[in-house]
Structure 1
Amino acid sequence: MGLAVRELRRRRGLTVRQLATQIGVSVGTVSAIENGHVGTSSERVVTLADALGVRADRLLVGIADPIRDERWGPAVAGAGREDPEDWRHYEPLELDPALRGALESFLEFGYHGSTMRGVAERAGLSVAGLYHYYSSKQQLLVTILDRTMEELQRRTTAAGTAATDPWTRFALLVECQALFHSHRRELGFIGATEMRSLARPARERIARLRRQEQATIDAEVLAACLAGAFGTPRPREAARAVVTMCTAIPQWYRHGGDSSPEQVADSYVDFALDLVQCDPSRRPQWE
């Protein structure tokens, strides 16, 4: 990991002193980390990753595994065989054994009820083997939520570029949210229930990304209202209600149930258009 820290620090044009100031440690501590002379706690790994602009798990794999400069790139769980332009297409969720074990444990027992030993058993690893890759439950949770937001943001961006007018973009963004929170209900459930378990600075970062998702839909509702296509007198409240409705899907949706994700998404787009008082007859010709 020390080599990875040094390489990323140099890529970002940071001195050892500047990085030390950012993460609140001494210059000697940063030097010791880069030279592999000191152990690094999970909390400090997360802090370092934030300062260097990468996910904590990418920092841990070290320089032998290519490190992405972009925090929110396409290298996300389940994305390996997917067309990045096809935001409606979902392959089965792919996670490494440790993350899979953590996800299953968090879903069953919650974050605070889970233990590293229990995660290791579900992952088919020894406890020592699990600690080799992930040094704490917190790091496992942060990695799961990072990957959740990466995939959601990638799909949101693709959906938003598939239309030229705000009312159509709004419908596509709602469809995207509903598809994600049903196809990826496990990730969505953890995102909805375990934000309170995140420590700083990861909590602020994930919360900021969630606000960005909300702001994307806020903007389209407001633009459609200004264009006369939506009649709601309270566009911000309506947009917030729409997103809350979609993020609640993991609370009740079950794979293999009465409705497919696509059927859920169709219904939720209708619900959302009713909520914003969409009147097709009022839609102007969008230039």
Structure 2
Amino acid sequence: MRTERAGRMADEVVGAQVRAVRASRGTSLRSLARSIGVSPATLSQIENGRTGLSVQRLKQIADAMDVGVADILDAVIPDPDDVVPPVGPVGPVGLIEPPAVPLPSDSSWRVYEPLEFDPVLRAALEEFLHIGYHGATVREIATRAGLSVSGIYHYYTSKQHMLLRLLEYTMDDLLRRAEAARREGKDPVERFSFLVEHLALFHTHRADLGFVGAAEKRSFDPVNERKIAALRTEQSQMVYDEVDAAVRAGRFTADMAHERARAIVTMCTALPTWWRANGTYSPEQIAEQYVAFALDLMGHRRS
């Protein structure tokens, strides 16, 4: 009897997690049912824990919503009795959006203020750094944030949502600073130099975000992975465009210019794997060194 009761409880939990993920993605019950070839009534039975859910069926549901099975099993189930004070406008699926993180003005791309994440996002970042995305649990993140597990639902639907928000902030900050640095340059070589300086400064001052971004890029579901990858490509393309312009102007003379530029970008993005705030060099010293390395690697010819 106890085993049967435990099985029903497990079905109810997983069913509620399916429902939470479906709601967070704005997918209707009828649409998901059609995608997996069952009636809406059957899917409703699954979501309410009245029908057992096989591993195969769970995988089918995950594929239909373009998420991983782990994302469903990590989903936070809302507790209607757990009330959290509002912190922002209510989103399209009833979630309270976390406070916006301030981004730097165009004139301050070299200035890095301390990060001001909301408690949940700060806790998620610390947990991902401590044990990695796949090792982290929503319960431990909730403990770090000083909230109940169900309380986190009012902010984020799952670990995946937290990781996405962290990387969205990272890329917004990175690209905004890159655009400001590029506008400050007066010619292709100076713009290239400022972009390399920016990448080195970002990946030292924001080493924690850079490390999570590099280490967990394969932890995204396919949709989020493509979104973040496109933003990374946008940043790299800025560097490549200035390299092309400098080559056309005869200012960069090394062969295989694109391959060298790719190596320079990778050199900068790898900084979080070894640079430490209490180490030998400050972010500004690293940036100065890396600009010199990059210009030498491109065969820079002074005008």
TM-score by length of 2: 0.69
Change (3 A) 1:159 1:129: same
State the match for 1:184 in structure 2.
Answer: 206
5+ residue gaps, structure 1, are 1-22, 31-37, 47-57, 68-74
Question: Is residue 116 from structure 1 mapped to residue 101 from structure 2 by the alignment?
Answer: no
Question: Is residue 62 from structure 1 mapped to residue 91 from structure 2 by the alignment?
Answer: yes
Say if 1:76 and 1:147, in contact at 8 Å, map to a contact too.
Answer: no
State the match for 1:252 in structure 2.
Answer: 274
5+ residue gaps, structure 2, are 1-24, 33-43, 48-60, 68-86
Change (3 A) 1:227 1:202: same
Deviation digits for residues 243-278 of structure 1 (CA, Å, limit 9, x no counterpart):
000000000111232211111111110111111111
Deviation digits for residues 199-222 of structure 1 (CA, Å, limit 9, x no counterpart):
021110100111111111011111
State the match for 1:18 in structure 2.
Answer: none
Say if 2:181 and 2:194, in contact at 8 Å, map to a contact too.
Answer: yes
Structure 1: which 4+ aligned runs deviate by more than 2 Å?
Answer: 23-30, 41-46, 58-67, 75-79, 82-85
Q: Distance in 2 between matches of 1:212 and 1:195?
A: 16
Q: Percent identity?
A: 47
Name which one, 1 or 2, has greater alpha-carbon Rg: 2
Deviation digits for residues 116-168 of structure 1 (CA, Å, limit 9, x no counterpart):
01111111111111122111101000110111000001000100100121000
State the match for 2:35 in structure 1.
Answer: none
Question: Is residue 225 from structure 1 mapped to residue 247 from structure 2 by the alignment?
Answer: yes
Q: Distance in 2 between matches of 1:78 and 1:241?
A: 31
What is the correspondence of 1:126-141 to structure 2 with a 5 Å cutoff? Answer: 126-141=148-163
Say if 2:211 and 2:272, in contact at 8 Å, map to a contact too.
Answer: yes
CA RMSD between the two structures: 3.2
What is the correspondence of 1:5-154 to structure 2 with a 5 Å cutoff? Answer: 61-62=90-91, 77-79=101-103, 82-154=104-176
Q: Distance in 2 between matches of 1:194 and 1:269?
A: 27
Change (3 A) 1:189 1:167: same
State the match for 2:228 in structure 1.
Answer: 206
* One-letter amino acid of the structure 2 residue matched with residue 242 of structure 1: I
> What is the number of residues matched between the two proteins?
231
